[in-house]
Structure 1
């Protein structure tokens, strides 16, 4: 049953009855959906930013840990060989020996994920930092820079000293 109201149009002396419409107009629904989409988009941007920043920090700290682990293994003469870390654009690999062998079964590979990439500026121009057995020193000293692929201005830098010291910015 429709609720009826009486209206007296000024142009006509007749009494007319119109139903009162209940519910939402299409324009109202479009506006509400639009506002929900905007709010969701604004809420997603900070979450993605923090996820990327966390990936950058994690890549740098994990690599620092790998370098320290390689140095400790070299200092303790684990396996009677040197130890090092090979850096690729999106990963780091802890390895045993004087040179990196990508197919070695004892390699420990760590991926940085899809947000982070590295660049290296090491003495000798290579991609590995190898620590000498018993001394923990390295001839491949220099820097390893981690950056966000989407914002290359966002970086973390690891510094490897000739004596085997490892620090970050």
Structure 2
């Protein structure tokens, strides 16, 4: 359902205005860490995207480009693991980045079933722009989190390690 569950009967206008005012009752969702992680992730990505000025930017592109730059010749499976994406979500990202000319692939001589990934010059330029934006974005997040950043990072890493 959308923001507010309504039945289409009288009072729908009131329900719509409640939803519009941000007073939607979340119930137990409000106590779930995963729900708040998702909200924070969405808000963070929207802010990052605004900062980059790139309307076509998709979630994960920055991380994928950065991982490829730091690991030239990485194969898609290792990239998938490092970026926290499964094969069904890494494949469309790679396809899009290949189509945009940001990355190139070449056969892997040690494994005919796989290939090696590299940034192109265009990918290097785009990554440089995204890295500058990411640094500014992270400073804004640092201002929100403050001295709790090391603990927050420790907890997020622990969540990822234990759950995954």
TM-score range, shorter chain: under 0.3
TM-score normalised by length of structure 1: 0.26
Structure with max Cα Rg: 1
TM-score normalised by length of structure 2: 0.27
